[in-house]
Structure 1
Amino acid sequence: MLPIKLHAANHRYVKIALLLFVVLLLMSNTGMSMKLPAYPTAKKGVLDLRSAAMNEKIPLNGEWLFYWQQLLAEGDKASHPNIVEFPSLWNSGHKINGRELPAFGYASYRLTVLLPKKHGDLRLTVPDVYSAYALYVNGKQVATNGKVSRSDEGFEPYWQYKTIDFGQNADTLNLVLEIANFVHSKGGITKPLYIGDREVVRLDRQQDEAIDLLLTGCLIMGGLFFFGLYLFGNRDRAILLFSLYVLVYSYRIIGIDNYVLHTIIPNMDWYIAVRLEYLTLFVGIGLFGLYSRYLYPLDINGPTLNVIAVVCFAFALASLVLSPYYFTQLINPFLVLMMFCLIYIPSVYLIAFRRKRPGSIYALSSSIALMFVFAISLFHYWGFLPQLQVLTFIGYVSFFFLQSLVLSHRVSFVLKNAQQQAEQGLKAKTEFLSTMSHEIRTPLNSVIGMSHLMLKNDPRPDQREHLDVIIFSANNLLGIVNDILDYNKIEAGKITFERIEMDLLAIARNVVNSLQTSANDKGITLKLVGDEQLKSKLIGDPIRISQVITNLVHNAIKFTPSGFVEVSITVQRQTDTNITVKVAVKDTGIGISADKQDLIFERFTQADSSTSRGFGGTGLGLAISKRILELQNSSLELISAEGKGSVFYFVQTFQKVVNTLPEITEKNKLPQQGMPFAGIDLLLVEDNPLNVMVAQTFLKKWGAGIDVAVNGEEALQKLDVNKHKLVLMDLHMPVMDGYQAAKAMRNKGVTLPIIALTANLPDEVKQEIADAGIDGIVVKPFLPDELYGKVWHHLFK
C-alpha cells in the first residue's frame, strides 16, 4: 500500500469512481472478448491449421516445446523439452527441476505448424521479445531482432515488428524461436506470433500504424498549440502542464507496443528507447496529476498529489540513472499508483462538477474515457484482451478532445472575466475622467471669469499683461483636459458626428484668426489660402472639422521657430452633389525625421522625448485628429523633412448644400453697450461661492437683478414666476441637484427658460438635460460673451 490518505470528503466520490471503473473493466473484458473468434491452439508443440480458414490472422498460441539454456539452431543438442504455454515469460512461474528460471538467460521455443493443402500467400508476424531473438523456419533463419548469444558478450537487445512471407506451396512450418535476455527484468515473450493471408495481415498492420501516426500527430500538434497558448497567453500553469503531458504522452503512442517509431527509425538504440518508454510513462502520470492540481486546486488534496508527483518523478529519475534490469522492475508497483490515480483523479473531477467548476463536466467525461482506455491497456498488458486499437484510439481522442474543451472553457472563462474587468475599468476610467473634468473646470471657471472681469476694469498695462498670462495658462489647461476627454471618448466608441450645414472656409478663417495672436507672438506669418471653386456650404460636423484644423495649426505654430504657417483649402473634384477637398497645413518648422513619422500619431507621444520639454504638449492632438478623420473615412497624412518643415493634410468628401454662399458681411452683433438686461430678474442656482461671484458680477454689470439659491430645494422655494424671467441652474449640487430641480419646476408648470451651468461636456449630459426639460447649456469655464449670448437668446428669442 502506498502511504497516501484520501481527504474524508472524498471517500464517497472515490467509491463512485471505483464502481464506474469496475463497470468499464467488465464491459471491456466481457463485451469485447465475446466477439473474439476461437482459433485452434497448439498441443505439445504442434499446431494443426489444416482445416482452418487462412483468410484471417491466426495467433500461434498454445503449447510450445521449450528448451532452457539451449540454442537449437546453433548446434545445441536438444534435450528433453518442457511444455510451456506460449506466449509467456520464462521467469513468471516456469520451473525446471523444481527451480524457478531467472530473467537472464537464453532458450529455444519450437513449434510445428500444419497448413492446409490449399492456401494463398501467407505472412507470419513476429513481435518484440525480451529482448533479442532469431527465428528459423524449416531450418532457415528468416528474422532477427538484435543479436542472440549465450552470455552478455556479443548480446544486443532490440525491439521491432517483423514479417515473413510464404508462398502457396508451404504445407508445414517448423519454427524455432531463439530468445536471449541479459538486460531486462523479464525474459521470454508476451505477444503472440500471427499467421494469415498476406493481404489481410498487411492491411491490419497498416491500420495499426495509421492509427498510431494519426494519434501521435494530433497529440504533438495539440501539445504545441497549448504550449503556444501558454507562452503568449496568461501563463496558466494548468495549460503548460497539459501541453507537456500531451507532448510526453505522444511518445507512448508511437514508441511502444507496435513500435512504429522503430520502423521509421531503424536501428534505434535499444537502451535509449527503453528508457524513453519508462520515462514517458512515469513523467506522464506525474504531469497529469500536477495538471489536475492546478486545474481544480480547491477540490484536490494537495499532499496526496505531492506524494503522487514525488513517486512519479523519483521513478523517472531511476529510469535515467539505473540499468534497465532495475528500473523495469518498477512497473508493477507503478501500476498500483496508476490504479490509484485512475480512481482518485475522477473523484476530484466529480467533486469539481458538484461544485460547478468551469469545464468540470468535460473533465469528468474525459476521466471516464481515460479509465476505459487504461482498462483495455491493462487487460492487454496482462494478456486478457487483444490490443483493440480502434477502441483505444477512440478513447484517446475522446480523452484529449474533452480535456481540450476543459482548457478552452477555462481560457474562455478567464477571457470573459478579463473582459468584464476591462469594461468595469473602462467605466471607472470614464467616470473618473468625467469627475476630474468637472472638478478642474469648476475652479477654472472662477480663474477665467475673474480674469475677464479684471480686464474689463481698465487695468494697468503690467496688470493686463499678467492677466493675459493667467487666461492663456488657464485656456491651455482647459485644452489639455478637453484633449484627454476627447481621446477617452474616441477609445470608448462614444464619439458622434453631426451632419449639419457648415462653411468650411469660414471655419478655417475663424481658426486662423483665433490663433493669429500666437503666431504674431512668435514672429511668424499665419495665412489662409482658399480655393475660389469652393462656393457651397457643406454637410458635416463643423465642431470636429474645426477641432482637427485647430490642432494642426496649433501644432504647426508650436513647432515653427521662424518662417510661416499656411492653411490651404483646395477643391480636388466636385459634382452637383458632392465635393472632395484637400485641407493642408504647411509650416517651415523643425520637421520630422522619416523614422519618427509614424510614431507621432501615437497617443501621448512626440517625435523626440526632448520635444515635450522644448515645446510642451501632451502628444494627444495629432492622435485625436487622426482618429476623428478615420471615423469619417478620411486619413491624416504627412510630408516632412527634418529641419525643413512639414505638411499635414487630409482629403475628405462632403455632400454639398445646393445654395451658393452669400457674400460675407459683418454679423449682427448683440448689444454690448449699456445695460441690456436692466429690469430683468434672474434666479442663479449655484453652490460654489466663487462661481456665484463670477456669474453674479457679469449679470449685474449687464443690468440684471440676481437672486441666488445654493441647491435645488432652495431654488424651488425662491422661484417666483412673476418676478424671475430665467433660471441659471448648476447641475451638480448637494441636497437636490439641477436635474431634479428642473424636473420639479416643469412638473409644477413652470415655463421659464432654464439654462444649465455645468462643467460637464454637452454630449455627456445631452439626454439628461432633455429629460429634465432644460432649454440650454453653458459649459464652465464660460467666457463672458458666451454667457451673455445664451441669456440674450433665451430672453429675447
Structure 2
Amino acid sequence: MDGMRKIGWLWLGLLLCLNLWSWPRAFAEEGTGDAGAVLDLTGWDLTQSTVSLGGSWDLYWGQLLTPEQIDRGLQEQAPLRVQVPAVWSTAFHEGEALSNQGYGTYRVRLLLPEGADLPPLSLYVRGVATSYKLWVNGKPLASNGTVGRSLSTMVPYNLPKVVSFQPKPGSNELVMQVSNFVQRKGGIWEPIHLGSTEQIGRERTIRFGLEAFIIGSLLIMGLYHLGLYAARKKDRSSLYFGLLCLAVVARTSVLGEEVGLYVFPGISWEAAVKVEYISAFVGMQMLLQFVYREYWDRQHPVIVRASMAIHLLLTVFVLVAPARVYTYLMLFYHLFVVVPVLMFLVFVYIRSIFARTRESLVNMLGFVCFAAAILADILFFNHFIRSGIYLPYGLLFFLFTQSVHLALKFARTAREAERLSKELKVHNDTLEHKIQARTLALQKSHDELFHLNEKLSRIEQFRRQLLSDISHELGTPITAIRGYSIAMVEGVIQDDYAKYAKRIYDRSQVLERLIEDLTELTKLETGQIQFHYKPMEVVPFFQQLFRRYELDMLERASQFVWLEGSTLPDGSSSYVARMDPIRMEQVVLNILWNAKKFIPEDGRIEMRVDIVPGTVSGAVEAVISVCDNGRGIPEQELESVFDRFYRSKESRRAVKGTGLGLSICKEIVHYHQGRIGAENIPGSGCRVYFTLPVVSGREFSEKEEDHGGASAAR
C-alpha cells in the first residue's frame, strides 16, 4: 500500500505539470505592414538535406483568400503573425485566444538563392487540421478535403502528401487555405518539410516503408498470439497480447503516414478518427489485462473491471458522437485514465521483481520503454513536443522482451519435460515388454476383424447393388413376357403361337444376358474377380485380336482396317504390358461390337495402337483406339457412355444391348492401371480408346535378367 501511495503522489505531480504546460502560450502579433512573413533559405544547401518551414507565417484569420486576392489587397484585415507549426488556440488576437473551430489563410515567402539554376523541389505536407488547399507561386498544387466557411460546407480529410514544384530564384510564395470545424485541433500542427524531389521522395518512402513494416510485424504477431489462444483457451495472456498488437496496428494505420488510408482509400475521415480513438481504448485495456494476468495474484480484480467499464463507455460515446465532441476528451482521458493505468502497471512490475518472479526484470524493461513511448505520444498529440507516434516502436521492443520471456519459459519447460521423460522411461521399462506383447495380439485381432469386415462389406455391397440393378432393369422384359403369356393363356392370341413364343424367347435371352452382365460388373466393382496377368507384347497381341474378329466386323462394315500407330524415337521395336489376355480381349470385343452397331451399312472401322509418353514422368503408355464413321455421340453425353445402363437414343433403337458393356470395359481397364475415354472425330464418327502402361522390350528383358540373377544368387 505504501508503494501505491507513492505512485499516487507521483501521478498528482505529473498531472499538475501537464496542466501548467498545457496553458496557452501567446506568440501571435498584428501584421506590421511590411512585405509579410519571410523565411530566409538563401544559405540552405538544398542538395544536402531537407529543411523544416517552421517559423513566423502570416495568417489571415476568418478569411479564405487566393494568392491573386492577396496581391490585389482584397483582404478584409491585416494578417496575424503566427508560429508554424502550432494549433490556432495558441495564438492571440486582441487579447483573446483564437478558436480551433474556424478558417483562415496562411502565407509565407521563401527566399531561395538568386541566380541559381534550381532543381525541382517538393513539399512534404503532413498534419494540417482538417482540410486545406495549397498554392505555390500562384498555382494550385494540392488539396485535402474541401475547405469551407462552416461545418456544412467543409469536407474533412488529412492524408500526408508530397507536392512538387519548380522554384524560382529568389522569392517564392506559399499560400494555404485551412478550415476546421470537426475536431479539437485547427491549423498547421506538424512541420512542413522542403527539399529536393529526390530527398523528399526518399524521406517519404522511408517513413512509409518503416510504418508498413511495423504494421506488418505487429499484425503477424497479433495473429500468432490469437492462434496460440485458439490452440489453448486457458492461456488468456496470448489473447490479450494479440488484441493489443492488433489495436496498435489499427491505430498506426490511421496515424503518421496513414498507411491504412492508402490500402482502403474509401474510409472517411470521421471513420478513421473513430478507429484511432477506439483502438487506443482497446489497446490500453488489453495492456492492463495482459500485465495483470501475468504478474498479479488476482486479489483485486476491481481495477480491471473499473477500467473495462470506463473503456466500454468511452467506446460507445466515440461510436455515437461526432469527432468535434469526443476529441476534446482526449487530454482528460490521458490524464485520468492512461497515466494512472501506467503507474499501476509499473507498480505491478516492481512488486513482481521484489517477489522474485522469473523474467519479470526483462519484462519490466520492455514495459518501461513501451510506457515511455505512450507518454511521448500523449505529449505529441497534446502539442507539448513536436515529434511523436512512438507507440509502435515501443510495442515492438515490448514484444521483443516478451519473446525473450517466452523463450526462457519454453526452455525451462523443455528442461522440466526432459526430466519427467527420463523418470517416466525408468517406470515404463518394466511395462514395455508386456505392452508390446499385448499390442501385437491386439494388432493381429484387429487385422483379422478388419479383413473380415471388409469382405462382408464387399459381399453386402454386391448384394445390394445387384438387387437394385435387377429391380431397375428387369422390369420391362418381365412385363412383356407376362403380357404375352397371359394373352396366350386367356385365348386373346388364338393363332400364330410360334411368333409370340419367339418373342417370349427373345425377351428371356435379354434377361439372361442382362443378369450375366450385372453379375460380372458387380463382381468387378467389389473385387471378387481374379485377374491372371501375363507379360504380353502389345502390338502383336492386338493385331491378333484384329485378325480374329475381322470377318465378324465385315458382316456389317465395308472396311475393317488395321493402321500402323506412332511410336517413341527410343529405338525400341517392341513394348510389353502386364495384362490378363482374356479380360483384355473382352474389352476389345465390347468396343468393336459397339462400333459395328452404330456404323452405316457401308461403314468403316479402324483399329490402331500408338506408343506415347504417359501422364506420369518417365512412364510410357500404349493407346489402343477403335474409330468408326458413324454419327458419333452427342457432346453432352460423352462423359456418360461408361456409366451403368447408359444408352443413347440410337442405342435404345438397337435390337440388342444392355448398356453395361462399356461399364465392364471401364472396370477391366482400371484393374490394368489404365484409362478409357471417348471422343468425336471432326466431320463424322467416334473414337473410343483405352491406355495401358508399357515398358520397352529391352527394358523388360533387363529386369527379367536381374530378377533371374538375384534368384540364382539366393
TM-score w.r.t. the length of structure 2 is 0.54
RMSD: 4.0
Cα offset, 1:274, TM superposition: 0.8
Structure 1 match to 2:42: 50
Query: How many Å separate the matches in 1 of 2:151 and 2:7?
Result: 51
Structure 2 match to 1:332: 331
Cα offset, 1:135, TM superposition: 0.8
**CA, structure 1 residues 418+186, in 2 after alignment: closer, same or farther (shift >3 Å)?**
same
For 2:66, what is the secondary structure of its paired residue? Answer: helix
Structure 1 match to 2:213: 214
**CA, structure 1 residues 63+356, in 2 after alignment: closer, same or farther (shift >3 Å)?**
same
Which of 53, 60, 67 in structure 2 is aligned with 1:60? 53
Read off the aligned partner of 1:100 and give its amino acid letter. A
Structure 2 match to 1:102: 99
Read off the aligned partner of 2:112 and give its amino acid letter. L
Query: How many Å separate the matches in 1 of 2:436 and 2:364?
Result: 60
Say whether residues 1:156 and 2:155 are aligned partners: yes
Output aligned runs, 1:645-684, within 5 Å.
Answer: none
1:268-299 CA distance string (max 9 Å, x none): 31111111011111221112112222222317
Read off the aligned partner of 1:397 and give its amino acid letter. L
2:52, 2:193 within 8 Å by CA — same for their partners in 1? yes
Structure 1 match to 2:141: 142
Say whether residues 1:81 and 2:79 are aligned partners: yes
- Can you give the 5+ residue segments of structure 1 that lack an aligned partner in the other structure? 1-6, 26-41, 431-488, 498-542, 560-585, 595-640, 645-797
Cα offset, 1:418, TM superposition: 8.6
For 2:81, what is the secondary structure of its paired residue? Answer: strand
Cα offset, 1:190, TM superposition: 0.8
Query: How many Å separate the matches in 2 of 1:248 and 1:201?
Result: 30
Say whether residues 1:345 and 2:345 are aligned partners: yes
Query: How many Å separate the matches in 1 of 2:443 and 2:298?
Result: 60
Read off the aligned partner of 2:153 and give its amino acid letter. G
Read off the aligned partner of 1:304 and give its amino acid letter. I
Query: How many Å separate the matches in 2 of 1:183 and 1:545?
Result: 77
Say whether residues 1:296 and 2:295 are aligned partners: yes
1:128-177 CA distance string (max 9 Å, x none): 32110011112221110000011223310001011222336453221111
Query: How many Å separate the matches in 1 of 2:396 and 2:145?
Result: 34
Cα offset, 1:347, TM superposition: 1.9
**CA, structure 1 residues 548+247, in 2 after alignment: closer, same or farther (shift >3 Å)?**
closer
Query: How many Å separate the matches in 2 of 1:404 and 1:105?
Result: 48
Query: How many Å separate the matches in 2 of 1:317 and 1:257?
Result: 25
The share of aligned pairs that are identical, in percent, is 24
**CA, structure 1 residues 199+592, in 2 after alignment: closer, same or farther (shift >3 Å)?**
farther
1:556, 1:589 within 8 Å by CA — same for their partners in 2? no
Read off the aligned partner of 1:357 and give its amino acid letter. T
1:369, 1:395 within 8 Å by CA — same for their partners in 2? yes
**CA, structure 1 residues 266+315, in 2 after alignment: closer, same or farther (shift >3 Å)?**
same
Read off the aligned partner of 2:56 and give its amino acid letter. E
Query: How many Å separate the matches in 1 of 2:311 and 2:367?
Result: 19
For 1:135, what is the secondary structure of its paired residue? Answer: strand
Query: How many Å separate the matches in 1 of 2:252 and 2:323?
Result: 21
Read off the aligned partner of 1:134 and give its amino acid letter. K
1:13, 1:351 within 8 Å by CA — same for their partners in 2? no
**CA, structure 1 residues 51+545, in 2 after alignment: closer, same or farther (shift >3 Å)?**
closer
1:381-401 CA distance string (max 9 Å, x none): 355545377x87654421121
1:95-130 CA distance string (max 9 Å, x none): 333443333221111111111133433211111321
Structure 2 match to 1:173: 172
Deviates more, 1:300-309 or 1:172-181: 300-309
Query: How many Å separate the matches in 2 of 1:253 and 1:124?
Result: 23
Output aligned runs, 1:536-555, within 5 Å.
Answer: none
Query: How many Å separate the matches in 2 of 1:301 and 1:223?
Result: 28
Structure 2 match to 1:508: none
For 1:66, what is the secondary structure of its paired residue? Answer: strand
Read off the aligned partner of 2:111 and give its amino acid letter. L
1:591, 1:643 within 8 Å by CA — same for their partners in 2? no
Read off the aligned partner of 2:120 and give its amino acid letter. D
1:66, 1:108 within 8 Å by CA — same for their partners in 2? yes
Output aligned runs, 1:376-455, within 5 Å.
Answer: 376-383=376-383, 385-387=385-387, 395-407=394-406
Structure 2 match to 1:274: 273
Read off the aligned partner of 2:59 and give its amino acid letter. F
1:26-81 CA distance string (max 9 Å, x none): xxxxxxxxxxxxxxxx9951111112222322111111111111011185831211
1:216, 1:253 within 8 Å by CA — same for their partners in 2? yes
Query: How many Å separate the matches in 1 of 2:150 and 2:162?
Result: 27
**CA, structure 1 residues 552+187, in 2 after alignment: closer, same or farther (shift >3 Å)?**
closer
Query: How many Å separate the matches in 2 of 1:589 and 1:225?
Result: 45
Query: How many Å separate the matches in 1 of 2:312 and 2:189?
Result: 28
For 1:72, what is the secondary structure of its paired residue? Answer: coil
Read off the aligned partner of 1:140 and give its amino acid letter. K
For 2:59, what is the secondary structure of its paired residue? Answer: strand
1:571-603 CA distance string (max 9 Å, x none): xxxxxxxxxxxxxxx997895759xxxxxxxxx
Output aligned runs, 1:199-278, within 5 Å.
Answer: 199-278=198-277
For 1:258, what is the secondary structure of its paired residue? Answer: coil
Deviates more, 1:122-131 or 1:303-312: 303-312
Query: How many Å separate the matches in 2 of 1:309 and 1:555?
Result: 57
2:370, 2:391 within 8 Å by CA — same for their partners in 1? no
Query: How many Å separate the matches in 1 of 2:59 and 2:8?
Result: 45
Runs of 4 or more above 6 Å deviation: 13-19, 411-424, 543-550, 552-557, 586-590, 641-644
Read off the aligned partner of 1:141 and give its amino acid letter. P
Deviates more, 1:261-270 or 1:180-189: 261-270
Query: How many Å separate the matches in 2 of 1:544 and 1:418?
Result: 23
1:315, 1:330 within 8 Å by CA — same for their partners in 2? no
2:218, 2:396 within 8 Å by CA — same for their partners in 1? no
For 2:194, what is the secondary structure of its paired residue? Answer: strand
Say whether residues 1:70 and 2:69 are aligned partners: no
Structure 1 match to 2:110: 113
Structure 2 match to 1:361: 361
Cα offset, 1:416, TM superposition: 7.7
**CA, structure 1 residues 303+136, in 2 after alignment: closer, same or farther (shift >3 Å)?**
same
Read off the aligned partner of 2:354 and give its amino acid letter. R
Query: How many Å separate the matches in 1 of 2:452 and 2:279?
Result: 70
Aligned length: 436
**CA, structure 1 residues 362+590, in 2 after alignment: closer, same or farther (shift >3 Å)?**
same
1:172-228 CA distance string (max 9 Å, x none): 221111111121122212101111122222111111111101111110000000000
**CA, structure 1 residues 208+347, in 2 after alignment: closer, same or farther (shift >3 Å)?**
same
**CA, structure 1 residues 361+493, in 2 after alignment: closer, same or farther (shift >3 Å)?**
farther
Query: How many Å separate the matches in 2 of 1:93 and 1:360?
Result: 43
Query: How many Å separate the matches in 1 of 2:60 and 2:453?
Result: 101
Query: How many Å separate the matches in 1 of 2:422 and 2:80?
Result: 80
Query: How many Å separate the matches in 1 of 2:526 and 2:438?
Result: 26
Structure 1 match to 2:4: 10
**CA, structure 1 residues 16+103, in 2 after alignment: closer, same or farther (shift >3 Å)?**
closer
Query: How many Å separate the matches in 1 of 2:225 and 2:285?
Result: 18
1:547-591 CA distance string (max 9 Å, x none): 77866777799x7xxxxxxxxxxxxxxxxxxxxxxxxxx997895
For 1:331, what is the secondary structure of its paired residue? Answer: helix
1:468-487 CA distance string (max 9 Å, x none): xxxxxxxxxxxxxxxxxxxx
Query: How many Å separate the matches in 1 of 2:96 and 2:452?
Result: 105
Read off the aligned partner of 1:101 and give its amino acid letter. L
Query: How many Å separate the matches in 2 of 1:14 and 1:207?
Result: 41
Read off the aligned partner of 1:71 and give its amino acid letter. L
1:638-679 CA distance string (max 9 Å, x none): xxx9999xxxxxxxxxxxxxxxxxxxxxxxxxxxxxxxxxxx
2:252, 2:392 within 8 Å by CA — same for their partners in 1? no
Cα offset, 1:408, TM superposition: 5.4
